[in-house]
Amino acid sequence: MTVMSTSENTTTAIVHEAINEEYEYIQYNKQLRLIRSVKDDMYQMQSILTACFAPDTKLPKDWFRNQSTIKLLSEAQRDILFSENSEEQRVGKKPQSPKLYENSEEQRVGKKPQSPKLYENSEEQRVGKKPQSPKLYENREKLPNGLRGYYVHRLLVNAVAMWASPRYAWHVYRLLDEIHRQEREELENKLEAKDKSIQKRIPRSVPKGKEKNYKYMIYTEEMENEEDKDMVMLHLVRRNNKSFYDLAKIYKSDRNWFYRENLPISMTPNEDVKQIVQDT
């Protein structure tokens, strides 16, 4: 576990403490400890309210009745619908209306829901149903005490924190920003390590000074069949300097041929070949 200083209400590190295989605590300072669902990166609303010193009169369900929340979720729904339609049009699929939640009881009795859904119960997750769209929030009623309750998408955490307490919401912002900073740093380190691995392999695959030691020859061959007499077959030969002498006989023949040299060994794309033929 990461060690952190708790002498003040600030910290230099984030502590991830596993609750079980699917949930964890994220500790940022003495007060700010959120409960996170590892599998889908959703956060428990009650832990956000507690971290923000929200009064007992503020309950998670009250947030959904707020006019600002209604407008926020409406815009999120439109954004999800737009994103899904764009993706389905790209892959040629027929767009479907997104579900922001689904009642598991209707799943069990096989009834078709009659109205738009705004959350999805976790029963669907257990029976293996693949969600049609990202859940913005979910009421997980069947979890143990301390874990049950509403969970919100990570993009809604700041909105819940601001509703709970504008003062302490700042520390929630810093927590999420630090998480994203660490994720970016981890990704950058992976990319840097991958780049170093590639750089180490380059000397073995392309000797120094031989980077552009490749040659292309494209020559034509007349078709023997009568029905193909108006066509020719193109042969592409790629050789390095040492073995290219094998094609010397092509130079001395009457065949039409195209030749290019000083091409990079590591990059001989077919698009270059097409361009050579077009330009000749």
pLDDT in tens, 136-177: 999 999 999 999 999 999 999 999 999 999 888 888 888 888
Query: What confidence tier does 2 reach under pLDDT thresholds 50, 70, 90?
Result: very low
- Other beta carbons within 10 angstroms of residue 42's beta carbon come to 24
Across 155-189, b (16+ Cβ under 10 Å) vs e yields ebbebbbbbbbeebbebbeebbebbeeeeeeeeee
CA nearest to 39, candidates 99, 124, 125: 125
What predicted TM-score, i.e. pTM, was given to this entire model? 0.52
The Cα 132–Cα 96 span in angstroms is: 9
Residue 105 pLDDT > 80, yes or no? no
pLDDT in tens, 232-268: 666 655 554 445 555 666 656 666 666 666 666 555 5
Output the average pLDDT for the chain.
73
Higher per-residue confidence, 82 vs 146: 146
What is the structure's pLDDT at 182? Answer: 86
